[in-house]
Structure formats: structure tokens, C-alpha cells
Structure 1
Amino acid sequence: MKSTEYVLSIDLGTSSCKLSVVDASGSVAATASAGYDTYSEKPGWAEQNPEDWLVAVSEASGRMLSFCDIDPHAIAAIVPTSAAHIGVLADNVGKSLRRAIIWSDQRSAREVEELNRLKGNLIFTQTNNQVSTTWTLPHFLWIKRHHPEIWGRIRHVSFSKDFLVYHLTGNWTSDFSTAVSSMLCNAGTGTWSEELAAMASLDISLLPEILPAGEISGTLNKNGARLLGLPSGIPVLCGALDSAMETYGAGARKPGDYVIRIGTAGGIHVIKQTPNPVGGLLTYPYLIDDLWYSQAGTNSAGSSITWAVETEGFPRTPEGYVAFDNLADQAPPGCEGLIFHPYLSGERTPYWNSDLRGTFSGVSFRHGKAHFARAVLEGVACSLYDALLALGDGDKLPATIGVVGGGGSDKVLMQILSTLMDRKLLAMKDIDSSYGAALYGLHTLGRGKKSGVFDGTTYVPEAENGENYEKTFTAYSKYAKQLLLLYAGGDDGLHPHDI
């Protein structure tokens, strides 16, 4: 790889794709994004059209190439990444047979209950993970139950990143982390599990070949070249999950390294020497040195803030988010007892209840718009702290923790979170899964520094507000326990889909 060459990353995120071109120094030369729709025909449903991903990637690539001065022939490799748990059922020519159910979808609660009751121990033993509505296996079971006519037409089972790779190269491949995220892979052997696939009446011959994340899946064929507007023949790496790439991009390289991730959802990641299968946590293989990482993930972090920004009447622009922050900053820390639970689409760690719903608690006449705005930010911070506690490593936390994702640009949220966690936080500028994927590609090709180009803002705990946030989190936790009882199911419980 010459010093004038670049790596192109393609990140299929939850609501949009982002392409980044990064040079050997780790500097970003160009980026472009394009969005796609998420369809929610019923409450709790979330699915996307896989062909929309291809349209968005093509649009973003065309836009990027039109305004940057990079010679397309200088792109040495393409590295894909994507969100986890998004399965695609395709026919013999690679066309999707239906929309893909994405990770935030809640419809498969019945299938989850059945899997846990009948096969829960086997699944946990083979995958290092506990069944929930997040995973692809119960998604496929729901589809089979409600759309059985599709099953006989399936010729390929893949996942969002891997569906893209097929349309770029003509090859069906996947990586270990993505395979684990499907709940169809034996995490101990790194191979597809016939027992797990049989639970969804799938033959493992339909599943893609599992390759190392840094191995070449194929080269850009004519269709892929036309899609991206690039010359054919460029190597396309297998890639990996966005959570792994973002963690890598933040510089996490050894056991005990932590990263806080605030995007649509939230997550706390910690690198482990070996798998740490604990119910309530997500356990994935990492990108390097046979390491693993544990993830305590929440459902609605940045998405809760976006909801609040729009509900308060601000535009969904950088200026709108700043205006929302300014409003929130007018209310005192602790919001005078107003508590928000960001369970707008159920919650993952530590509750794993798809029926939970968001609430404002402790509302009184003293509370105004500023209180409600700040309460949302404090609620998101509390949910992340709740997730951090679930990791059980509080006494081993480093003095400074890196924060990646769009939520790191929210100054009020970052200050709340730093004080609540009692740790310095480095909100890393422009570090996301797209950047991490490009950085990983550079290193795989033998170029680039061991870490990226880090720039950001450091937040230090405010001692004067520590007690306020301790009280807020105590109240948050007590309310959460009551909400769990309320949404526990049964004749006396609330069922949000019936309201």
C-alpha cells in the first residue's frame, strides 16, 4: 500500500449509512452519508428494506466522489461494518424475500419465551448470550411462524453487512462477530451450529462462509463498481460489527479497556481476555489477539434525545440540538425531582423487558419545559450508568473513559454522565464505527498508526453536583423496579401493545 492510497469504509447504521475515506496517517479525507427508512407498521416493530441500503450506499458514494479530490484508483481496500442482529433472507439471485427485522424490533417476545423455556440452556452454552428480542434467531422464528410461504424460497441467509458485500463482490461471507450476533453460531467453535439453525428450520448450507474480519471476501465486481462508482478489482474485506469497529476506532486494544458508545442506542464496552458469558450482557469476539468484549447495551440513548428535541419543537439539526441543550441547562441538576426513564422501545441491560415504556415521574407544578428537557438527558445518563453497573467492574474502571458516537457532542449530557459515573470522560471527535472500520482496514493492510488521530473534549466530574445525581439515580432505580412490576405481564400487568 502506497502512502498516497486510502481505505474506504462503509457503515450500515441503524438509520443511515456513512462512508469514510481515511489515509495511512489515520486522517479522514472525505465522508458522506445517506439515509433509509425504518418501517414500523405496528407498535414495537422495526424493519428495513435491504435494497434501500444499496441505494443509500450508492448515493453516498456518488456524493462523496463528486466533491473530493481523491483518485478512485488510490482506494486500496473497502471495509464494511454494520449494526448487529439484522438478518436477511434472500433468493438465488441475492434479492431479499422480505424486509429485514432490525435489532430494536420487539415483536418476537413469544418466540423468545419459547426459546428460553425449551432451549435456553443450550443457546446460552453455545452462544455465550441470553435470548431476547434483539437477536436474529427469534426474528427468524417469528417470520417462519407468520410468513411460512417464504421458507421454501430461501436460498441464502445473510446479515446486513454481508448482504452488501455480496452485492459488491458476488460472494456470500460473514465474520465471527456478526455470526455470533445472529444466535446461529457456536461461539466456542466459531462455526455455524446445526442445532441452533434447526430451531429456525434452516440448513447451515444456506449460511455464508465465516472468515476473519480482516480477510478479503472478494474484489469489487462490475455490479459493485457500478454501485460505488469505483474501478473494479478493489479488495473488499469481510469486516465486522459496528460496535467492534467503533471500540477499535476509540483505541481499545487490551483487556480492561472501556469505551462508552452513544448512538441511536447506548452501550458500555469492555475488552476481555476470554469470553465473559453473563446473563443480561452481550458477549462478542473482538477484532484482534483472540480477545472478546462484553457489552451492556441500552435501547434508546440518542434516539430518546432526538425524540425530545423534536417534541420540544426544535429542528433535527446541529443548531436544534444546541438549542435543546441550552434549554436543558436552564433547569437545575436533579430537575427538582423530575425523573425520566428512556424506555421508549423497551429496555435491554439490565432489565431485558421489551414491554417497558418510558415515563416521566415526580411531575409537579414547579416543572417547566427546561426541566423536562434536562430530565431526558439525565434519564439517558442514568440508563447508561445502570448498564455500567451491570458489568460489575466498577472498582476496575480507568480514570478516563473514551466516549464515541453522536451523543458525545452533547455537552450537557457529557457533564451529567461524567459526574454520575465519577470519571473523566473524553468525548472523542469524529470517532465512530465508520472511522474505526477504515482504521482497522489500514492496520490489516500493514499501514497506519496503532491508534487513530484522537481529538476531543474532556469532562471532569462536578463535585458540587455529585450528591444531586446520586439522589437522582437512586430515585431512577426505585421507579424502574416499580415499572418492572407494572410491565411484568400476566392479567394484572400492562401490555403496551394492547393500550
Structure 2
Amino acid sequence: MRYVLGIDIGTTSVKCVLLSEEGKLVCETAVPHDLVSLHPGWAEEDADIWWHHTQNCLSEFKEKMPCEMAAVAAVGVSGMVPAIVLLDSEGHPLRKTIQQNDARAAPQIERLQGLFDQDELFCKTGTKTNQQHVLPRLLWIKEHEPEVFAKSARALGSYEYITYCLTGQKYIESNWAAESGMYDIHHRLWLSEQFGLLGLPEDFFPPVAESGDIVGHLCACLADRFGLPHDTPVIAGSADHVASTLAAGITRQGDLLIKFGGAGDILYCTDTLHTNDRLFFDYHIVPGKYLLNGCMAASGSLVKWFVKDILKDDNPAALHTLDRQAAEIPPASDGLIVLPYFLGEKTPIFDPEARGVFCGLTLSHGPAHIFRAILESVIYGFKHHIDVLAEDGFYPEHIYATDGGAKSGLWCQIAADILNTPVTAFPHHPGSAFGVAFLAGVSAGLFESFGLVQNFLKDGATLYVPNVENAAVYEKAYRIYRDLYIQLRGSFRQIARLY
């Protein structure tokens, strides 16, 4: 029996899975880490901690399943995109990573929007200058940390950095490039004028590789340490949200995935390359398929913030208790509506200066109300994206849910009610790590085709059917949610200039 290893660098944890050639998940583990926000809108993590946690996961696998580790045929890594890991000339990180949901570069975004023709940029990259783009964050570093910028020799993403640690080889995966805003998605070329603005050579980013390409082999010392075969191939993985689409069997036009990670991703599968200036674009792992991608800056991270930082409750049972209590609260949380823009917002409003809001809060509201309103706010955000897709004639035929929030029956039922569509959740599915492991299996020849992933999704799925009465209440609340941002947009600008 042969196996493949999948590693996912997520916003809140590093997860590893071991998958057999029969498609059976034989082992999984995860090590949590924190998102660091030293200032309002900042989002950073430590790449060395990612690597340390990856090693811990691999050590655990070696201890639990030495025979299986010795039969690993390939390794794949997925992760957040486009996080920025700056390396010095020796290949060491120069600072904490600046995450894709970081909102510090609002002034740089505003300047770049005036400097580059936005319609022309959209035609080349599929997006206009926004919070997720790499250039504004690099420009911020150049202006605020010139000593760091001067020492920067290369930039990698989250999963590319872990692949580099495993193999010593540097590359950029095509979806990191596509979401960077510095890459022509049609001709697959970097935009030289953006490098010129920064005074950087075009090889500042390593060569671009496609998902599934073999980019290197496991270093011998690591193979010995973790009980893996020498020269184990390591593939170019993919963005975590793209790997999640494969893991959930999103392979047909009309399939839609909502991903309850630290950020909130929504992905719609198409047969043709289509772009929308309020969404992102991704190359699907499945050849000939593409993804329209929305990304909300905060989702699971907002839940974690409320429980850990506001309620000061580190008990693992806290979420289950709040879930149970919030299930007793009526739809729309007794008139409490949240705008989930606690890290600014990316799609579909592209506003790094947007802020989180609790609207309608009264003395009769308690923690369970606030918790439920937070869950509802994330789904309102997903519904906003579905409205944008509908404007282009794209309608979801099947909706699936994965990652942490899919374990919450309450959150999934809220999703079905607000979206007024059945939602199939995979509560115990390992998500991105499974997807990138399956990708590694296809590359290594363990699996004949991507379509086989459907065979491994039959067990463990839960179907949530919308409650008609709840859906009617939520439709009214959603209209208030949409109007709130419009009403407060000017105030957000003023607040951002107070500090």
C-alpha cells in the first residue's frame, strides 16, 4: 500500500493528513497558531512557527504510523494566499509574514489606484488594485521598513515557503501569482512595470509552477528524521481554498463551496475563464476548470476573537456551549446585525478601511446573541457574493461547506436559511490538506483522475435544508446588512484617519 502526505498552512493551524491509495484517511493532526494583529487592520504570522508546527505534525505521524510514512509516494502543501514571506539572501525570513487579509496598506492602495489604469489592470490580472494584492503591501514595507526591504532577496507564499523548507527549492504556484495582482493571468507573465515601481528585479519572485508539478524532492536529512523515503517528490500544491474545492468534489460548473476557514472563502466552478472586478480569479486544480473566488477577510478568526479575546474563554468546550445557547436565539438575533469587517474587507466591496460593527445592540442581548449574530454576518457576506455571481448569470446548483464552521450544525443551518438553498456540509472532512494530498496522489499516479475524489466523499456528509420561515426573516435582515455598509462607509473613512 502506498500513501500521500498533505500539509495545509491555515490561518489558525497547520494541518497534516496521510491518505492511502484507496482514498482512506489513515491519519490526521493539527497544531494551532495565532494570527497576530499588533495594530488595527494588521494581520501577521510567523513563518518559522509554521515550519516548527509542520515538523511537529510529521514527527507525530512517524511515531504513530512509521510503516505508512515509509511508503509515502509524494507530498503536497497548500496554504493561505497570497501571504508574503520575505527572505534574505540566505533564505531566512526577514520579518513576520504579512497576510492576505492585512489592511494596513490603504494609503498605498489609493496611490496605486491613481498610478495604474485600473481597467487595463483588470484586463490583465482579473482584478483591480485591492487589499489582497501583493504590490501595496510590498510598497508599505519599502516605505515603513526600508531596512527590511533592502535586505529582501526573494518573496514566497505560505505553502511555497514550507515546500522550500522541505526541498530547498523556491517556486511560486500559479494561484499565488494570479491573486497577487502582479501577474497577467491570460499570458502567464509577471507585469514588469510593477517591479520597476519597487526597484526590484523580475526574478524577485521565483519561477511559476502549476499545481501538481514536481518542484523538488525531500531533503535526505528530513527524510531520515521523519521516516520518509529518500527523494520523495514534493509537488507544487495550491491555495488552500482551491485545494478545498477539490476536497469537496467541486469539479462541475454550478458547484459552489463556502469555506469556513480563518477567512471566509466562496468559490464557484466554471468551464470558462471568466473575471469579475468584485471577485478574484483562480485556476482550478482540475484541468480546464476555473474558479470565481470571493474572500472575506474575517470568518473563523472573528469567532475565535470573540470567544478567546472578548469572552476570555480558552476552554475547548466554549464553542459547543455557545452553539447550543445561540440555537435558542431566534433568526436575526433579536435585532442584532453585525458587519464582519474587523480586518477591513476584500471581496466584494474591496474596502480596507471598513470596520466591524454591532448594530442594534441592547441591554437584553447576551453573549449568545452576539455569537449568533457573528455567525449570521459571515453568511450575509456569502450571500452578497452569490448576488454578485447572479449578476453575471452564474447560479449555484449545489452548495457545499467545509472547514471549521462545517462542524457547527447551527452555522450550517443558518447558511441554508440565509442562502435559502440546501447546503451539504462535510463536518469531519480535512478540507485543504485532503485536497492537496489527493493532488499529490494524482501527480504520483496513485489516483487515475480528479473525478475519483467523488468516490471518497460519500460518507460523513450532512444535508441542511432551509427553513422557509427563517429564510423570510433573514431576507429582511440581509437588506439591512447591505444598507448598513452604505450608510457607514463615510464614517469608516473618518475613523481610519483618527489614528
**TM-score normalized with structure 1 length:** 0.92
Matched to 2:254, the amino acid is: G
**Worse-matched range after superposition: 352-361 or 453-462:** 352-361
- Equivalent residues of 1:249, 1:432 under 8 A apart: yes
In the TM superposition, what are the counterparts of 1:374-385 in structure 2 within 5 Å? 374-385=372-383
Q: CA deviation at 1:316?
A: 4.9
SS at match of 1:225: helix
Q: How does 1:7-22 map to 2 (within 5 A)?
A: 7-22=4-19
* Counterpart residue number, 1:101: 98
The correspondence of residues 27-426 of structure 1 with structure 2, limited to 5 A, is 27-68=24-65, 70-119=67-116, 120-225=118-223, 228-310=226-308, 311-312=310-311, 314-317=313-316, 319-392=317-390, 396-426=394-424
Amino acid across the alignment from 2:56: E
**C-alpha contact 1:22 1:438 (8 A) present in aligned 2:** yes
2: distance between equivalents of 1:373 and 1:15? 19
Question: What secondary structure, in the 3-state scheme, does the structure 1 residue paired with 2:23 have?
Answer: coil
User: CA contact under 8 A between 2:11 and 2:261: conserved in structure 1?
Assistant: no
1:164–1:364: structure 2 CA closer, same or farther, 3 Å change rule?
closer
Q: CA deviation at 1:208?
A: 1.1
SS at match of 2:70: helix
Tell me the SS of whatever aligns to 2:85.
strand
**Post-superposition offset of 1:401:** 1.0
* SS of the residue 1:326 aligns to: helix
1:497–1:233 distance in 2 versus 1, CA, 3 Å: farther
Tell me, yes or no, if the aligned pair for 2:344 and 2:352 is still in contact at 8 Å: yes
Report the counterpart of residue 487 of structure 2 in structure 1.
482
Alignment CA distance shift 1:56-1:282 (3 Å): same
Distance 1:497 1:165 in 2: 41
- 1:114 Cα deviation after fit: 1.1
Query: Which shifted more, 358-367 or 422-431?
Result: 358-367
358-367 or 169-178: which moved more?
Answer: 358-367
Instruction: Indicate if the aligned counterparts of 2:338 and 2:377 stay in contact, CA closer than 8 A.
Output: yes
Q: Are the structure 2 counterparts of residues 37 and 333 from structure 1 closer, same or farther at C-alpha, using a change threshold of 3 Å?
A: closer
Contact 2:386 2:395 in 1 (8 A): no
Task: Give structure 1 stretches of 5+ with no counterpart.
Answer: none
Deviation sequence 1:275-298 (CA, Å, 0-9, x none) = 322222111212122322111221
In 1, the alpha carbon distance for the partners of 2:487 and 2:234 equals 50
- The alignment partner of 1:14 has SS state of coil
Verify the 8 A CA contact 1:306 1:316 in the aligned structure 2: no
Match of 1:465 among 453, 459, 470: 470
Counterpart code for 1:495: A
Secondary structure at 1:163 match in 2: helix
Q: CA deviation at 1:365?
A: 4.3
What count of residue pairs does the alignment treat as equivalent? 490
AA in 1 matched with 2:91? G
Q: 1:194 to 1:290 in 2, by over 3 A?
A: farther
Contact 1:38–1:48 (Cα < 8 Å) also in 2: yes
State the distance in 2 between where 1:108 and 1:36 align. 24
**1:333 Cα deviation (Å)?**
1.7
Report how far residue 217 of structure 1 moved. Answer: 0.5
* SS at structure 2 position matched to 1:392: helix
| Structure 1 stretch displaced more, 175-184 or 211-220 | 175-184
Distance, in Å, in 1 between the alignment partners of 2:467 and 2:13 is 35
For the 8 Å contact 2:178–2:184, the answer to whether it is kept is: yes
Task: Verify the 8 A CA contact 2:44 2:96 in the aligned structure 1.
Answer: yes
CA–CA separation in structure 1 for the residues paired with 2:224 and 2:202 = 31
Instruction: Report if the CA contact (8 A) 1:314-1:323 is conserved.
Output: no
Query: How far apart, CA to CA, are the structure 2 residues paired with 1:440 and 1:316?
Result: 36
8 Å contact kept, 1:296–1:390:
no
Instruction: Please give the alpha-carbon distance, in whole angstroms, between the structure 1 residues aligned to 2:332 and 2:226.
Output: 49
Residue of structure 2 in register with 1:451 after alignment: 454
- 1:37 Cα deviation (Å)? 4.2
Q: How far apart, in 2, do the equivalents of 1:174 and 1:452 lie?
A: 31
Ranked by relative contact order (alpha carbons within 8 Å, sequence separation 6 or more), the top structure is 2
The answer to whether the 8 Å contact 2:4/2:74 transfers is yes
Letter in 2 for 1:39: V
CA contact (8 A) 2:296 2:347 kept: yes
Q: CA deviation at 1:75?
A: 0.3
| 1:133 partner letter | Q
Residue pair 1:169, 1:224 contacting (<8 A) in 2 also: no
The CA distance in 2 between the partners of 1:306 and 1:50, in whole Å, is: 21
Q: In 2, distance between residues paired with 1:380 and 1:213?
A: 29
| Structure 1 residues 168 and 342, CA gap change in structure 2 (3 angstroms) | same
Deviations 1:168-216 (A, max 9, x none): 1121122211221222222111232322322322211232111221111
**Which whole-Å CA distance do the structure 1 matches of 2:393 and 2:468 have between them?**
19
Alignment correspondent of 2:439: 440
- CA–CA separation in structure 1 for the residues paired with 2:366 and 2:54: 42
Cα deviation 1:440-474 (Å, max 9, x = unaligned): 22222333324252222110011122211112112
Give the Cα–Cα distance (whole angstroms) in 2 for the partners of residues 57 and 129 of structure 1. Answer: 33
Secondary structure, in 3 states, of the residue corresponding to 2:42? Answer: coil
Compute the displacement of 1:40 (Å). Answer: 2.6
Is this contact kept in 2: 1:45–1:105, CA < 8 A? yes
Secondary structure in 1 matching 2:454: coil
1: distance between equivalents of 2:33 and 2:225?
A: 16
Change (3 A) 1:421 1:33: same
Aligned letter for 1:465? N
Q: Could you list the runs of 5+ residues in structure 2 that have no partner in the other structure?
A: none
SS of 1:239's equivalent?
strand
Q: For residue 276 of structure 1, what is the amino acid of its counterpart?
A: H
Deviation at 1:233, TM superposition (A): 0.9
Residues 365 and 157 (structure 1), Cα distance of their counterparts in 2 relative to 1, 3 Å cut: closer
TM-score (norm 2): 0.92
Aligned-partner Cα distance in 2 for 1:405–1:64: 21
- Specify the code of the residue in structure 2 equivalent to 1:125: C
Q: Secondary structure at the match of 1:255?
A: coil
Q: Distance in 2 between matches of 1:79 and 1:69?
A: 19
